[in-house]
Amino acid sequence: MKYGHFDDQTREYVITRPDTPMPWINYIGCENYFGILSATAGGYSYYKDARLRRLTRGRYNNVPMDFGGRYIYVRDNASGAFFSPSWMPVRGKLDAYECRHGMGYSIISGKKDGIAASTRYFVPVGENLEIWDVTVTNERAAAADLSLFSVAEFCLWDAQDDATNFQRNFSTGEVEVVDEVIYHKTEYRERRNHFAFFASSEKLAGFDTQREAFLGPWRGWDDPKAVAEGKSSASIAHGWQPIASNHVKLSLKPGESRRIVFFLGYHENPKDQKFDPPGSQTVNKAGVLPTIAKFRDPKNVDAAFAALKVFWDGLLAKCQVSTPDIHTDRMVNVWNAYQCMATFNMSRSASTFESGIGRGLGFRDSNQDLLGFVHMVPERARQRILDLAATQFASGGAYHQYQPMTKKGNNDIGGGFNDDPHWLIIGVSQYLKETGDFSILDEAVPFDTTPGTEVPLYDHLKRSIQYALDNIGPHGLPLIGQADWNDCLNLNCFSDEPGQSFQCLKGKDGKRAESVFIGGLMVHSAKELSALAREHGRPADEEFYAGVARDMEEVVKKHGWDGEWFLRAYDDFGHKVGSKECDEGKIFIEPQGYCVIAGIGLGDGRARQALDSVKKYLATPHGIVLQQPAYSRYRIELGEISSYPPGYKENAGIFCHNNPWVIIGETILGNGDQAHDYYSRICPSAREEISDLHKNEPYVFSQMIAGRDAPTHGEAKNSWLTGTAAWTYYAATQWILGIRPEYRGLRVAPVIPKTWDGFTATRIYRGVTYDITVKRAGQGNRIALTVDGKTIDGSVVPPPPAGVKSVKVEAVLS
């Protein structure tokens, strides 16, 4: 069953009924000002940091789940009846409803009793504000006397404090209302120099800034007193809950439309220019008045919307494909790329499943995310890399997370996730292959964000491998530390004491449990560093890291092979994890996919055998589960993985993030049919028809789909902010379609299904547009390339002569 459909022309997902199984959200904002926006106008906004600079409130664990947002009420002043065009919060029956989620905007429309209202929500590029651009149309045969009420509820900036510290924050709320603009200035008087503002393009009939006055005692968002009575009360918030609500009156002739723009923004003043006059407690508005004047004029709103479209078209134009599979096309061309930008901007902070209060940017996560967005925003990727590397320790280990606002490592979780350092090498390599910008390697980057400790970024990469070499266990495999990619495989560090999840177990010293997965990852990262050193003119390093990779490969083959698949780990007692000898958790997905990516066992049949075992034991119609059999009971020596009920999350859930490792592995082994088949199983668009089972948005990947051991097999959770976005994008574009940036050119080496007769693609790479046509002439993956009419050897298209801006590539597969 579906709840909408894709509009591939407009790059929108069209939701046609509001009662989706979960809130189906979009994001607005792409630089510093961001908002979550559900199909029923729910969600909140923030500036840069969802925890520390929250503009509007989110409600956690609420029923219904999605309450609080950017609400519009339309009231018929003759009858007193009112409705919300976004269905929520009034939830009355609408005569028509539609939400179009597009690239950086959503348009939510509803109709009731001949009155139609449609709101286009977006954040203009280069601005720190969001626009609610409402058009109301009278479709009746008679004139209509209407009132429009808008409302946003302010968060008192620190979202965690706002949700918990009521003894203080019921008394701190403050606003000013000047020239019909509502300024939210809570805590401005002390350490803050920022404020929010809410304004409208129309002359107001009234306003409210105190929630209680707007809603009325014991009433909710579905039935505000001000709306029911058709009258705002010019309330001024003194403490309690400041809001911004505008009341606009409209008299519409039959067939007449009117446009009303509301906007909510954020502004920061220089610290010494907070007050006007200086020493008063009045917000200095000088810096924001031009912006307010600008967006009161709908012409400027239209120009901003047009600029937003140009912005997104520019990003997506970097890679556009046309294949025989509609799902591949719309994911690669639109939604998967768009989701990669969301993981770039939001990391794992703010979504339906992340409160915005918890973790900041993950070291591992953000480095992997680079794979999906570096081609769209290379300059911003460069800065992200430098920020990440600055949270590395001198040992080569790294903080597991850092806060985007301060860019400093989070001490509460610390470091010791021993896969982390390797991802920096993989992220930087991808950046270099895409951009060719080797100057980044010379950038001086500190350790632990401490001034005076700077070394070139290149040395950070070397320290990453040094950290691994310094943390080798009894079998010669890398020590796992707190955990590796699988955060929940806690072989040293789990305690059954409440609230002590990362204390080492008594008697454990963190020096024994080893990870075969990190072994595979280390082979890959050392090979990448060796290639990077070659391109960087460091032959001794090239040789050294090639040797590191060779040595670790031997160890993995000797101590990391279980006979039919790669082992997962050795626990602190030296027991195997992920072995046929285990009673549960006999085979895990991570080392199978990743060891093949690392090139381990390609020549001796082990790689093929490992992936065949994945197919035999782990693959389901809804994707590949993380391990089998699921752990049926809690095991303190394995930690959090066994705390989940079977089939969920890391305990045998379909963890979509690592499915692409197997997909890539299959392409490396030349099996395009299997690769694309696995891709389709988790592809949200291909799952659209089962939206009632899948539950999450059919336009973005989810982190997890319940595995075969779960009673809800096939049900997805944790959409949007997941490493799945980057990895599936990378797997589809660079390995199935095979358009792969390399140091010395663009490789074109597709491994596509046998049933495909070919595809076309346009890829902008290092400023040159490559128009690529792939045609199938036989059933294999052998490739013959013609570049601008000339046959070339191999599958790497070399850079064209200077000044040439477009290249035609014809590829024949046989």
Which residues of the shown chain bind ligand IFM in the complex (CB under 6 A)? Answer: 362, 364-365, 485-488, 650, 657, 723
**Which of ligand IFM, ligand BGC, none binds 812 (CB below 5-8 Å, type-dependent)?**
none
- Minimal CB distance to ligand BGC: which residue? 487
Closer to ligand BGC at the Cβ: 382 or 717? 717
Question: Which option in ligand BGC, ligand IFM, none does residue 369 bind, with CB closer than 5 to 8 A by kind?
Answer: none
Query: Is 161 known to be catalytic?
Result: no
Beta-sheet strands, E only, within 457-611:
514-515, 569-570, 576-577, 587-588
**CA 66 to chain CA mean position, Å:** 19
Q: Which residue from 658, 662, 674, 661 is spatially nearest to 781, judged by alpha carbons?
A: 674
Report d(CA 723, CA 370) in Å as an integer. 10
| Nearest distance in Å: CB 353, ligand BGC | 10
Helix (H) or strand (E) holding 341: helix 336-346
Which residue in the shown chain puts its C-beta closest to ligand IFM? Answer: 487
List the interface residues with ligand BGC, window 422-441 (CB under 6 A). none
Where does residue 425 rank: exposed (0-12), middle (13-18), buried (19+ CB within 10 A)?
buried
3-class state of residue 400 by DSSP: coil
- Mark 75-114 with x for binding to ligand BGC (rule: CB under 6 A) and - for no binding: ----------------------------------------
Q: Which is nearer to ligand IFM, 484 or 697 (CB)?
A: 484
Contact of residue 572 among ligand IFM, ligand BGC, none (CB under 5-8 Å per partner type): none
> CA–CA separation, 545 vs 611, rounded Å?
27
Least Cβ distance, residue 640 to ligand IFM (angstroms): 9
Catalytic option among 208, 484, 487, 571? 487
The C-alpha angle 450, 456, 458, rounded to 5 degrees, equals 125
* Interface of this chain with ligand BGC, residues 605 to 644, rule: CB under 6 A: 640
Figure out which of the listed residues 528, 650, 666, 688 binds ligand BGC, where binding follows CB under 6 A. Answer: 650
Please, which residue, 724 or 795, has the CB nearer to ligand IFM? Answer: 724
- The entry of ligand BGC, ligand IFM, none near residue 486 (CB within 5 to 8 angstroms by kind) is ligand IFM
Q: Which does 400 bind (CB under 5 to 8 A by kind): ligand IFM, ligand BGC, none?
A: none
Give which of ligand IFM, ligand BGC, none residue 295 binds (C-beta under 5 to 8 Å, depending on kind). Answer: none
288 by Cβ neighbours in 10 Å (0-12 / 13-18 / 19+) ranks as buried
Helix (H) or strand (E) holding 167: helix 166-169
List beta partners, residue 134.
Answer: 119, 260
Min dist CB 684 to ligand IFM, Å, is 18
Nearest C-alpha neighbor of 233 from the set 222, 224, 223, 221: 224
The answer to whether residues 688 and 701 touch, using CB atoms and an 8 Å cutoff, is: no
Least distance in angstroms from the C-beta of 488 to ligand IFM: 6
Of positions 568, 649, 687, 740, contacts ligand BGC by CB under 6 A: 649
Could you tell me the two tokens for 69?
A: 């947002």
Largest Cα separation within the chain, whole Å, is: 84
Q: Which residue in the set 488, 546, 768, 796 belongs to the binding site for ligand BGC (CB under 6 A)?
A: 488
Structure tokens belonging to residue 541: 């390093």
Structural contact between residues 553 and 600, judged by C-beta atoms closer than 8 angstroms: yes
Pairing of strands 576-577, 587-588: unpaired
Q: Report the nearest approach of ligand IFM to the CB of residue 353 (Å).
A: 11
Q: Residue 485: which of ligand IFM, ligand BGC, none does it interact with, CB under 5 to 8 A by kind?
A: ligand IFM
- Least separation in angstroms between residue 704's CB and ligand BGC is 8
How near is the Cβ of 347 to ligand BGC at its closest, in Å? 12
By a kind-dependent CB cut-off of 5 to 8 A, residue 206 interacts, out of ligand IFM, ligand BGC, none, with none
Q: In terms of CB distance, is 576 or 657 closer to ligand BGC?
A: 657
75 binding partner (options ligand IFM, ligand BGC, none; Cβ < 5 to 8 Å by kind)? none
Instruction: Give which of ligand IFM, ligand BGC, none residue 133 binds (C-beta under 5 to 8 Å, depending on kind).
Output: none
Q: Give the nearer residue to ligand BGC in terms of CB position, either 45 or 719.
A: 719
Q: Taking the chain, what is the end-to-end CA distance rounded to the nearest angstrom?
A: 40
89 cis-preceded (ω within 30 degrees of 0):
yes
In whole angstroms, the minimum distance from the beta carbon of 385 to ligand BGC comes to 22
Footprint of ligand BGC on 186-225 (CB under 6 A) = none
Q: Is there binding between residue 487 and ligand BGC (CB under 6 A)?
A: yes
Local structure of residue 24 (DSSP, 8 states): -
Look at residue 68 and give the partner it binds from ligand BGC, ligand IFM, none, a contact being a CB closer than 5 to 8 Å depending on partner kind. none
Q: How many CA atoms lie within 13 A of 345 on its CB side?
A: 26
Alpha-carbon Rg for the chain in angstroms: 28
Is 348 or 622 the residue whose CB approaches ligand BGC more closely? 348
Structure tokens, 779? 């059933």
Phi, psi of 412 (to 5 degrees): -65, -30
The encoded tokens of residue 425 equal 């090498």
Closest CB 129 distance from ligand BGC, rounded Å: 33
Residue 173 or 409: which CB sits closer to ligand BGC? 409
* Long-range residue pairs from 291-300, CB within 8 A, at least 24 positions apart, any chain: 291/127, 291/129, 291/265, 291/267, 292/181, 292/197, 292/199, 292/265, 295/124, 295/129, 295/131, 295/199, 295/201, 295/261, 295/263, 296/199, 296/200, 296/201, 296/261, 297/201, 298/133, 298/201, 298/259, 298/261
Pick 130 or 487: Cβ nearer ligand BGC: 487
507 CB-near residues (< 8 Å, 6+ apart):
none
Closest separation in Å from C-beta 349 to ligand BGC? 13
* E strands in 567-709: 569-570, 576-577, 587-588, 619-620, 623-624, 627-628, 654-655, 702-705
Does 419 participate in binding ligand BGC (rule CB under 6 A)?
no
Q: How far is the CB of 245 from ligand BGC (least distance, A)?
A: 39
Q: CB nearer to ligand BGC: give 375 or 649.
A: 649
Of 155 and 656, CB closest to ligand IFM = 656
What number of chain residues touch ligand BGC (CB under 6 A)?
Answer: 5
CB of 644 to ligand BGC, least distance (A): 7
For ligand IFM, give the closer residue by CB, 38 or 486: 486
Of 13 and 517, which CB lies nearer to ligand IFM in the complex structure? 517
Under rule CB under 6 A, residue 369 binds ligand BGC: no
Tokens of 271: 């610290």
Q: Can you give the binding site for ligand BGC, defined by CB under 6 A?
A: 487-488, 640, 649-650
Q: Give the active site residues.
A: 487
